[in-house]
Structure 1
Amino acid sequence: MDYSSLFRLDGKTAVVLGGGSGIGRESARALAAHGAKVVCADYNQVTARETAELIGPAASAVQLDVLDSDALAKAAASLGQIDIVVLTAAVNVRKRLLDYTRAEFDRVIALNLTATFEVVRAFGGAMVERGSGSIIAFSSIRAVTVEPGQGAYAATKAGMVQLLRTAAAEFGPAGVRVNAIAPGVVETPLTQQIKNSPEWYQAYADKNALGRWAKPQELAGAVVYLASEAASYVTGAVLSVDGGWTAVDGRFDPPAS
Structure 2
Amino acid sequence: MLGSSYFELKGRVAVVLGGPDGVSAAVCRMLAERGARVAVVGPDEARLADLVDELRWGGAEAIGILAEETGAATMDAVRLGVLAELGRPDLLFVLPCPSPSGGGWQRTVDSGLTATFQALQAFLPGMTEAGVGAVVTLAPYGPDPATNAVGGGVTALTRHYALLVADAGVRANVVSWTPRESTVDDAAFAALYLASDAAASMTATTLDVRGTSMRW
Asked if residue 88 in structure 1 is aligned to residue 82 in structure 2, the reply is: no
Equivalent position amino acid for 2:54 in 1:
L
Which SS does the other structure have where 1:6 is aligned? helix
TM-score by length of 2: 0.88
Q: 1:14 to 1:125 in 2, by over 3 A?
A: same
**Alpha-carbon distance between aligned partners in 1 of 2:137 and 2:18, rounded to the nearest angstrom:** 11
Counterpart in 2 of 1:52? 52
**Alpha-carbon distance between aligned partners in 2 of 1:157 and 1:93, rounded to the nearest angstrom:** 15
Runs of 4 or more off by more than 3 Å in structure 1?
Answer: 92-95
Greater Cα radius of gyration, structure 1 or 2? 1
Q: Cα distance, 1:30 vs. partner?
A: 0.3
Alignment check: 8 A CA contact 1:67 1:111 kept: yes
Equivalent position amino acid for 1:82 in 2:
P
Match of 2:167 among 173, 177, 184: 173
* Range with bigger deviation, 34-43 or 176-185: 176-185
TM-score by length of 1: 0.75
Asked if residue 135 in structure 1 is aligned to residue 103 in structure 2, the reply is: no
- 1:19-55 superposed Cα distances (whole Å, 9 cap, x missing partner): 3111111110001111101011111111111111111
Number of equivalences: 207
**Alpha-carbon distance between aligned partners in 1 of 2:28 and 2:128, rounded to the nearest angstrom:** 23
Question: How much identity, in percent, do the aligned residues show?
Answer: 27
Which stretches in structure 2 are left out of the alignment for 5+ residues? none
Equivalent position amino acid for 1:170 in 2:
L
- 1:66-97 superposed Cα distances (whole Å, 9 cap, x missing partner): 613212112213312001111112335878xx
Equivalent position amino acid for 2:76 in 1:
A
User: Equivalent residues in 2 for 1:23-172 (5 A)?
Assistant: 23-56=23-56, 57-65=60-68, 67-80=70-83, 81-92=88-99, 104-140=104-140, 142=141, 147=143, 150-172=144-166
Which stretches in structure 1 are left out of the alignment for 5+ residues? 96-102, 188-212, 250-257
Which SS does the other structure have where 1:9 is aligned? coil
Q: Cα distance, 1:223 vs. partner?
A: 1.8
What's the C-alpha RMSD, in Å, of the aligned pairs?
Answer: 2.1
Q: Cα distance, 1:129 vs. partner?
A: 0.7
**Alpha-carbon distance between aligned partners in 2 of 1:110 and 1:33, rounded to the nearest angstrom:** 32
**Alpha-carbon distance between aligned partners in 2 of 1:92 and 1:86, rounded to the nearest angstrom:** 18
Asked if residue 239 in structure 1 is aligned to residue 211 in structure 2, the reply is: no
